[in-house]
Amino acid sequence: MKLETTTISTEKLKGRFYTPEFIVDNILDLSGYHGQTILRKHAIDNSCGDGAFLVAIVNRYCIEFLKYCSDLQSLSEELSNYIHGIEIEEIEHRKCIENLNRTVEQYGLNYVKWDVICADALSVDKYNGKMDFVLGNPPYVRVHNLGNSFDNIKKFSFSKNGMTDLYIVFYEIGLKMLNLSGTLGYITPSSFFNSLAGKYMRSYLVQNNLIDKIVDLKHFQAFTATTYTTITILKNNRKIKTTEYFQFENKNNFPYYVDTLSVDDYYIGNNFYFADRKSLNELNTILSFRVKKDYFAVKNGFATLADSFFIGNFDFDEFTIPVVKASTGKKYKCIFPYSQGKLVPYQELTEELKIKEYYENCKGLLLNRSLERNGDWYGFGRTQGINDVYRCKYSINALIKTPFDLKLIKCDKGVGVYSGLYILTEAKETELREMLFSEDFISYVSLLGKYKNGGYYTFSSKELKNYLEYKYVQRKGFINGQYAIS
């Protein structure tokens, strides 16, 4: 029952955030852990923390057992045999046992020999192939925070794409624990929908027809961490080839059904996207759209890796240009030590004493950067955006919620762009504005599922280009065979 925050803290290092009771109940219901069918079925939380899931599981088990049998000794034995847990930390493990004991006291039980072990789930295999239910909230920790545990990560297939999140490995751990007809129900970050780290996992889930239900919590924050989550229900030996898609109703803390989807609906370009089928069909059309001639190029602005040095108000003009901060639309002055796309020799750059003093005073800052290969200490950290300075373009921010959040700024030749994207095109400005300042664009961006704090969404240069090409061709029509859809 753990989730990561975005700051270095105990939560980040250990991945612990406690699961709200309503989330636990939703996962158990969606997984089918209810009614008398749960009796004598093995259930485990393999990162159980202080026991939020196990307490709910035990409560449900006791209620169903006592509906037809009052033998408390038999109930104690069944709880010992069928309820399981793993927790790596001793303090949390002890809390879990205490919480479970308090729970069964309500039903007249004085003692249960709990099969809740204090161990690292990465190294536990005794439950493999035996569980009817794997339920919980796995730890969310980036592997670079795992220290000595990193070596254990390497043996898992779901981590083969390099830098990954621990919760992705816990999907593999959970699936290994399931028996041939078992069900897994997790709440985790939704980043595996489109992250590089989740690529192999996505492919595996699709190839093995495992995805039974998806509940996208979107911007709803179930935890104190700013983390965007999904409830995922996986099942072995599924006969149907569709997935039920739900969204979360935060007023009632309950998932509501949206649509039943095929793999072709939601598995687009090796990523997962979830919405109703009509919206996904349109999204698929845009993301897979190709033209014989490109009408738009969308690129990332400057990456100086030292904006505080290169951008500001200077008391010299030589080797400076106007620059637009795409994220805000504001204009500044930028040191630009380039000529025809190449870095000016340092001696030439610093002929003016004021420039030389400015550089020499900040040399330590500039040296302490991760420079692009062959980059020199006095230039930008990356070369992106440099060659297009003397072309007309439009800067645009990539963090929006409504059309009113868009900042599209026309930049004349000689103006740079940083902190966002820019568009190169021969299309008219009025056409650009009509395509972008629209509910269609907001709908498209929301379907991409890249959630940000405050109800905002973000998008990549490639995703913006695809949208613009599609909408532009749609506006112009298919003329003289110039356009083609892949």
Residue 6's pLDDT is what?
A: 30
Chain segment 6-52, per-residue pLDDT in tens: 333 344 344 456 789 999 999 999 999 999 999 999 999 999 999 99
Chain segment 309-333, per-residue pLDDT in tens: 999 989 999 999 999 999 999 999 9
Chain segment 213-246, per-residue pLDDT in tens: 999 999 887 776 668 999 999 999 999 999 999 9
The DSSP secondary-structure symbol of 420 reads: S
Residue 8's pLDDT is what?
A: 31
**pLDDT above 90 coverage of the chain, percent:** 82
- Output 13 or 183, whichever has higher pLDDT: 183
Chain segment 135-176, per-residue pLDDT in tens: 999 998 766 555 556 667 878 889 887 667 899 999 999 999
* pLDDT of 3 higher than 50: no
Q: What is the pTM of this model?
A: 0.88
